[in-house]
Amino acid sequence: MKLVILDRDGVINQDSDDYIKSPEEWIPIERSLAAIAALSQAGFRVAVATNQSGIARGLFDSYTLARIHQKMCSLTERAGGVVDAVFYCPHGPDEGCHCRKPEPGLLEEISREFDVPLQGVPFVGDSLKDLQVAKTSGCIPFLVLTGKGEQTRASCSEKDLLGVQIVDDLHEAVKRILSLQLQ
């Protein structure tokens, strides 16, 4: 089975320093849903791995998060794609959990759920945490320059970016992923 793992905020949808707290605030980045559709049509399963500390902070609840994800999945389906599963960490940054990226818990859960080793699985994100968890899990890290991607690239060391595919957006990442599959 072919699998791709995507971060959510800043990769699929526009990010906000004030958090995405409602379905109305969830706005897809241009071409991101078409990119997911291209993955689905090429036979990839698509998993989303996202930190959602807004729950721990009391900004929204798990029901609201489910509604946000339902909107994301519905709009993706209308574009011809499928988000096969969404995995999220509801904890705050100081809770010391194993599932908050850059810790590997979410990716380990994805590996178990899909019964797929993570070695060589593309992981697309916009933050250093995304790059770190991708590398430690054996994934191929992609950094999109949407969301916090430009800031991430500017603040990362050469070592942080070693082996990272840097692309403009999810659409460009998917083009590269699909071209890698043809080789």
Task: Give the CATH number, domain containing residue 151.
Answer: 3.40.50.1000
pTM score of the predicted model: 0.97
Whole-number pLDDT of residue 183? 52
Q: Which residues are tagged catalytic?
A: 7, 9
Q: Say what the pLDDT of residue 181 is.
A: 73
Task: Residue 132: name the closest of 51, 53, 31 by CA.
Answer: 51
Residue range 60-112, pLDDT digits in tens = 999 999 999 999 999 999 999 999 999 999 999 999 999 999 999 999 999 99
Q: Is the bond leading into 102 cis (omega within 30 degrees of zero)?
A: yes
Range of the domain at 12: 2-182
Angle between helices 32-41 and 62-78 (to 10 degrees): 70
Q: Dump strand ranges (E) for the chain.
A: 2-6, 44-51, 85-89, 122-125, 140-144, 165-167
pLDDT of residue 1: 86
> Which residue has tokens 């995507």?
6
Q: Which residues contact 130 (CB under 8 A, 6 or more apart)?
A: 7, 101, 102, 123, 124, 141, 143
Residues in the chain where the model's pLDDT stays below 50: none
Distant-in-sequence, close-in-space partners of 5: CB < 8 Å, separation ≥ 6:
47, 48, 49, 107, 110, 121, 122, 123, 124, 134, 139
Indicate the number of domains in the chain. Answer: 1
